[in-house]
Amino acid sequence: MKIKWIEIFKILEDFQTGYDLPSVSLIGNEEGSPFKILISTLISLRTRDEVTLEASRRLFESADTAEAMMKLSQEEIEALIYPCGFFRVKSGNILTISKEIVQNLGGQVPSSKEGLLALPGVGLKTANLVLSLGFAIPAICVDIHVHRIANRMGWVKTNKPDDSVPALEKILPREYWIPINELLVLFGQQICTPRSPKCSQCPLHEHCRRCGVEQSR
């Protein structure tokens, strides 16, 4: 089956209409700050979107730059981002990253994958999201939704999200590297759910191989 990328992304873009953007995308659109995108992405890990958005906004009301953030104590950051998942670990990473940016990186968030991955708590998903949303550098951010849908559609055959990145880079036109995360996260939350996906309602059913789907609605 030939992958009809133009048709697929047009369907995904139309589907997105009427829904709120993912929390990090909202913050990126509102602020456009690589630092805020980096920090909100860290907060978002294993945390619901609505919790991420509220926690990020509370934190940025107190400190919206690396310089301001490093003046907070870890306990203050913990209180501001609670109840996000692993808030104690994340608060420590946020403080360490802020100090690293100010003291060793000239006050700037790294604009390279290697530079971002060197920061504590930053994995490939976070690095690529910061590159794409913070710097408009084409990078494929693969989270559990993108990984699941890419495999179900039959685009890739991979075991974990980080493996899906190079697999998608080989086949996905570069113009779609940035929007794929935002579009598939929403689609994965609403239609292509982890269990019993809503295949009967799916606007992509003609393009999907339904790989691994045993039960659907």
DSSP 130: I
Residues 93, 102 contacting (CB under 8 angstroms):
no
Binding-site residues sit at 192, 199, 202, 208
- CA distances 102 to 75, 87, 96, 121, 187, Å, are 20, 22, 10, 17, 38
Structure tokens at 70: 């490093």
Binding-site residues for [4Fe-4S] cluster sit at 192, 199, 202, 208
Q: What are phi and psi of 168, to 5 degrees?
A: -70, -35
- Dihedral of alpha carbons 72, 135, 182, 169, sign: negative
Residues 128, 137 contacting (CB under 8 angstroms):
no
